[in-house]
A and B are shown apart, each in its own frame.
Chain A
Amino acid sequence: MTRFNALNLVKNALTGHKNWTEQWPDSQPKTEYDVVIVGAGGHGLGAAYYLAKQHGITNVAVIDKGWLGGGNTGRNTTIIRSNYLYDESARLFDHALDLWQDLSQELNYNVMYSNRGCLMLAHTVHDVQSFKRHVHSNRLNGVDNRWLTPQECKEYCPPINIAPDARYPVMGGALQERAGTARHDAVAWGYARGAAERGVDIIQNCAVTAIRRHPDGSVAGVETEKGFIKAKKVAVSASGHNSMVMETAGVRLPLESTPLQALVSEPVKPIFPCVVMSNAVHAYCSQSDKGELVIGSGTDQYVSYSQRGGLPLIEHTVAAISEVFPIFNRMRMLRKWGGIVDNTPDRSAIIGKTPVQNLYVNCGWGTGGFKATPGAAHTLAWTVAKDEPHPINAPFTLDRFRTGRLIDEAAAAAVAH
């Protein structure tokens, strides 16, 4: 396929952009693969890319019931950061952040990663103490994060209301400057293109209905709408539907699926320079390059696969945004949507081996999977290729729910993580 560079751009411009080659073929399944990955989101496609690129395993299929990048990869608020409290999480998310830095060059595909900074606002004394603890913990782990006074917050992001008589006064903020956003569709497309270039088959509109096992218990392959596909190894990375797919292999996962909603406003001129999160008020917001405010809402409290979500959450979110950024309170919202996220009890992911031989899982990313895409994909590929965990994903086992060695980001982050 044609590489993207200035020369090719000029050449194709002169010929009316009619001669660009296909970015990836729409493959039909072969009868047998070395590795089948269930779920063509950023994580699954990325894992296929790293399997081919770093481990030389190219007889790989990525299978999705819909179109690639059509699930949560295209439904998130595109925020990237790594300011997590616990050592295990900081390592995992900072590994991803390292990979984000030059991902566009790596893939020869512009993922529009923009390290515009992520500012987390503190509104109460407890927030201040907790965020300062985050800042110190992050710095000990080599993760950049620093404390800003209310005035410095205002200078960094002028639309913030720091009036002392505000209902939720800003008492300071934690700023991670390497954090930012990326164009989520391009991440899926870039990985798909890179994987396909190395021989990976991307099979869309083909639901995996079951995982089949040999009599000795190990994985035999996957049943799909287009027939049985034999596979030496299977990796499941199907976000909200992970528990259903894994159940067919006899593996129960500690997951509950809920809709997570987001919304965007009408596009306006550039006004919002960074990502701002306010955990206490539960508002988080950034501005896309198209000019829309991209606003994250919350998860419904109940298990649901509706891909829609409840309206009370949207009302709550918009109220919170108006409170923290009064300047936006007359902006019109353009659209809202939901994605089904799989939540673990400790709100940390599970990446690695399962009780079934040659079956691997990448699940439980809950509300925070997009930022981890390159890191999750990279470590999952490692685990699948070598049948052992990468040092970074080693703590994120399924077994931790039996041993009690939880990575309790639920308690550390309270919300939005």
Chain B
Amino acid sequence: MIQIHCPYCGETLPELEFAYAGEAHIVRPESPSEQTDEEWAAFLFLRDNVKGPHFERWRHAHGCGRFFNAVRNTITDRFYITYKAGEPRPDLAKLLEESK
């Protein structure tokens, strides 16, 4: 079973406590009424579907209940890092170097 570190609780816990919440760092449009249909479709439905390091959101559903972000390799399912919502996107090259 995958072990996931909750950055709020500070604990590493089994994946059963967590709910996946899709790709991270997708920003809601600032002025929705000015968006075209194409832009809405992209915002709602288009995802990177990365094979490799993937920025994604998780929620500690059976713990603190809070959303946080993570970088996970979608080939090995290994987590490189988890970090609090609102924190900037970590530098991927540096992360991969550190995890070697």
Take A301-B20, A312-B15, A345-B44 as given contacts and tell me if A306 and B49 are in contact as well, using a CB distance cutoff of 8 Å: no
Residues of A within 8 A of B16 (CB): 312
List residues 227-273 of chain A with CB under 8 A from any CB of chain B. 241, 243-244, 252-257
Check: A303 CB closer than 8 A to any chain B CB: yes
List residues 1-23 of chain B with CB under 8 A from any CB of chain A. 1-2, 15-16, 19-20, 23
Q: Are A305 and B46 in contact (CB-based, < 8 A)?
A: no
Check: A310 CB closer than 8 A to any chain B CB: yes
Take A310-B1, A345-B44, A403-B37 as given contacts and tell me if A303 and B76 are in contact as well, using a CB distance cutoff of 8 Å: no
A402 to B37, CA, bound (A): 6
Number of cross-chain contacts by CB at 8 Å: 60
Besides A244-B49, A254-B41, 17 new A-B residue pairs in contact (Cβ under 8 A), listed by A number? A244-B51, A254-B45, A254-B46, A255-B47, A301-B19, A301-B20, A302-B20, A303-B49, A304-B77, A305-B74, A305-B75, A306-B76, A311-B1, A345-B44, A401-B45, A402-B40, A402-B41
Q: Are B56 and A303 in contact (CB-based, < 8 A)?
A: yes
A310 to B49, CA, bound (A): 18
Q: Are B15 and A303 in contact (CB-based, < 8 A)?
A: no
- Give per-residue flags for A383-417: 1 if the beta carbon is below 8 A from chain B beta carbons, else 0: 00000000000000000011100000000000000
Chain B residues close to A by CB (< 8 Å): 1-2, 15-16, 19-20, 23, 37-38, 40-42, 44-47, 49-51, 54, 56, 72, 74-77
Q: Who on chain B is nearest to A257 by CB?
A: B49
Residues of A within 8 A of B1 (CB): 310-312
A303 to B49, CA, bound (A): 7
Q: Who on chain B is nearest to A244 by CB?
A: B51
Chain A residues close to B by CB (< 8 Å): 241, 243-244, 252-257, 301-306, 310-312, 345, 401-403
Q: Who on chain A is nearest to B37 by CB?
A: A402
Question: Which 5 residue pairs of A and B lie closest in terms of their CB atoms, listed nearest first?
Answer: A254-B45, A301-B20, A302-B20, A402-B41, A243-B49
Residues of B within 8 A of A401 (CB): 41, 44-45
Residues of A within 8 A of B49 (CB): 243-244, 255-257, 303
A253 to B49, CA, bound (A): 9
Q: Are A303 and B54 in contact (CB-based, < 8 A)?
A: yes
Considering residues A304, A306, A311, which has the most beta carbons from chain B within 10 angstroms of its beta carbon? A304
Considering residues A254, A303, A403, which has the most beta carbons from chain B within 10 angstroms of its beta carbon? A303
Q: Are A345 and B76 in contact (CB-based, < 8 A)?
A: no
Residues of B within 8 A of A402 (CB): 37-38, 40-41
Residues of A within 8 A of B72 (CB): 302
A24 to B52, CA, bound (A): 35
A265 to B14, CA, bound (A): 27
Considering residues B37, B42, B51, which has the most beta carbons from chain A within 10 angstroms of its beta carbon? B51
Q: Are A252 and B15 in contact (CB-based, < 8 A)?
A: no
Residues of B within 8 A of A306 (CB): 74-77
Residues of B within 8 A of A312 (CB): 1, 15-16
A301 to B56, CA, bound (A): 12
A253 to B75, CA, bound (A): 20
Q: How far is the CB of A1 from chain B (nearest CB, A)?
A: 37
Residues of B within 8 A of A255 (CB): 47, 49
